[in-house]
Amino acid sequence: MVFFPTGPTVRLENEHSPMSSTTPLEIGHHRHIHFQEGLELDCGVTLAPIDLAYCTSGTLSERGDNAILICHAFTGDQYVAETHPLTGKPGWWERMVGPGKPIDTNRFFVICSNVLGGCMGSTGPRSLRRNAQGDDEPWGTDFPPITIRDMVRAQYKLVKALGVERLFAVVGGSMGGMQVLEWTVTYPHMMLAAMPIATAPYHSAQNIAFNEVGRQAIIADPDWRAGRYWQADVVPARGLAVARMMAHITYLSEEALTRKFGRRTRRGPVSGPGPEGPVSLFSDIFEVESYLRYQGSSFVRRFDANSYLTITRAMDWFDIAADHDGELTAAFAGTPVRFCVVSFSSDWLFPTSAARALVRALNQAAANVSFVEIETDKGHDAFLLDEPDFDRTVRGFLCGVAEHVGLV
C-alpha cells in the first residue's frame, strides 16, 4: 500500500457562473491510500489496485483506543467536518464532529472515507483502468458490482493501514448505518460500540422501487450513452438531476415540506403574468419546485451517474440476515458490541418499525443495546439537521462507553 497525503486541489468557480449550472466540478486530488493488492469482492472479482480517499480529525491516542469511524450516507463523502474542496460548503456533519461537539475531536480520532464505488477519490466507476487496447479509460458500467460488505472490507483495510487495531466506535446514518451494521457482523471484535442511525437491517421493497425509478431516469437520458457518456464529453445531467430530486423527496417529511414551502409560488397564476414574468406549463411556479430543481442541478455537478447506479444497487442488495437463513438474530449471536440504535419519528424511508425490528433481534441475541426514537417532523434527514435531543443522545452514548472502558 502507498500513502498519498497530498492536499485537495480546489477548483475556483467563475464568479459569474450560475449556481444552477450542471457543469461537473473537477474531480481534484484527495488524500488517499493505495492498495496495490486490491480487494476480493463478493461477486468473485478481485478489484486491483484500489484507492481509498479519506479524512481524519483529532489525534490518535498512544494506546490507539480512541478512533471513531464515521460511515457516510449515499451521497455523502469523506468531508465530514472539513470544508468541501470542490463545493466550498461546510462538511456534511460539521455540526456533529469537531472540538467540543457531540463527536469531540479533542477526545476522539475521527476517520471518514469515501466508499468504494464512490466518486470523490475512492476507486469507482469514474476511476481509470487499462482496457483491452492498452489505453486508460474510466471503468464506467464495466465496474464490478459491489456490496455494502465490500465497502466495509475496504474500510477495514484503511483502518488497519492507519495503525488502528481496534475502533472505539463505528457511527453512521442511512446507508452509513448499513455499513455500521455490516461492521458489527463482519468484524464484531474490531469495535467497542456501534451507532446505526436512521437505517434498517435490509433495504425494503419500497426503497428498492425508489432507487429503480432513479436509475431508469438516468438510463433514459439521451446523454447516458450506455454509460460511456465521457466519450462524448457529456453527462446524463437531466436524468441524474431527476433521480436526485425524487430521492430528495424521500429524505424529507410532509410536515417539513409544508413548513418550508407550503403552496407558496414564485410566479402568478396561469391566467396572467407573475412578478417574474409570464408563466408556462414548464415553469417552476411553486417554491418547492424551484428547491428541487436546485437540488438536482447542484447534485449533478458533484456526483457521477455510474456511481449513482453502483451505490444504489449495493444498497438494494443489503440484507444482514441473508447469510443466516433469514434469521436476523443469528447474525448478531454472541456479539460483544455495545449498540445504540437511533430512529426518527417522521422518517418514512427508514421508519421506526425497522429500527424496532433490529432492536428486537439484538435483544434476542443478548446484545447490549439501547434504543432511542427522536420525536421530530424533519424526516429522514433529521440526523443531518439541528436536533438537540439527537445531539445529546450521540454525546451521551459515546461518553458513557468511554467512561465504562476508562477512556480519558
Q: What is the pLDDT along the chain (408 residues), one digit of tens a residue?
A: 544 333 322 222 322 233 334 555 555 568 999 999 999 999 999 999 999 999 999 999 999 999 999 999 999 999 999 999 988 999 999 999 999 999 999 999 999 999 999 999 999 999 999 888 888 999 999 999 999 999 999 999 999 999 999 999 999 999 999 999 999 999 999 999 999 999 999 999 999 999 999 999 999 999 999 999 999 999 999 999 999 999 999 999 999 999 999 999 876 555 455 555 555 666 668 999 999 999 999 999 899 999 999 999 999 999 999 999 999 999 999 999 999 999 999 999 999 999 999 999 999 999 999 999 999 999 999 999 999 999 999 999 999 999 999 997
Q: How many domains does the chain have?
A: 2
The set of residues, in sequence order, having a beta carbon less than 8 Å from that of 196 and lying 6+ positions away, is: 172, 177, 178, 180, 181, 339, 341, 342, 358
The set of residues, in sequence order, having a beta carbon less than 8 Å from that of 116 and lying 6+ positions away, is: 39, 47, 50, 52, 122, 123, 124, 146, 150, 151, 154
Spatial separation of the C-alpha atoms in residues 321 and 246, rounded to whole Å: 29
Q: What is the CATH number of the domain that holds 213?
A: 1.10.1740.110
- Active site residues per annotation: 174, 347, 380
Asked which of 259, 288, 317 is the last residue of a domain, the reply is 317
Same structural domain, 290 and 248: yes
In this structure, which amino acid lies at residue 2? V
Same structural domain, 49 and 151: yes
Task: Give the three-state DSSP class for 218.
Answer: helix
Spatial separation of the C-alpha atoms in residues 105 and 180, rounded to whole Å: 20
pLDDT number for residue 269: 56
pLDDT number for residue 86: 87
φ, ψ (nearest 5 deg) of residue 33: -115, 135
Classify burial at 333, counting beta carbons within 10 Å of its beta carbon; exposed 0-12, middle 13-18, buried 19 or more. middle
Q: Is residue 289 part of a domain?
A: yes
pLDDT number for residue 324: 95
Q: Is residue 292 part of a domain?
A: yes
Same structural domain, 368 and 291: no
Asked which of 268, 284, 317 is the last residue of a domain, the reply is 317
pLDDT number for residue 14: 29
Strands (E), 124-276: 128-130, 136-138, 167-173, 191-197
Q: Is residue 187 part of a domain?
A: yes
Q: Is residue 96 part of a domain?
A: yes
Domain span holding position 259: 205-317
Q: Is residue 335 part of a domain?
A: yes
Alpha-helical runs (H) found in 109-174: 148-161
Q: Is residue 240 part of a domain?
A: yes
Cα of 121 vs its chain's centroid, Å: 14
Q: What is the CATH number of the domain that holds 398?
A: 3.40.50.1820
Asked which of 291, 317, 343 is the last residue of a domain, the reply is 317
pLDDT number for residue 42: 98
Cα-based distances in Å from 180 to 170, 176, 248, 377:
6, 6, 22, 25
pLDDT number for residue 3: 43
Whole-number CA gyration radius for the chain: 21
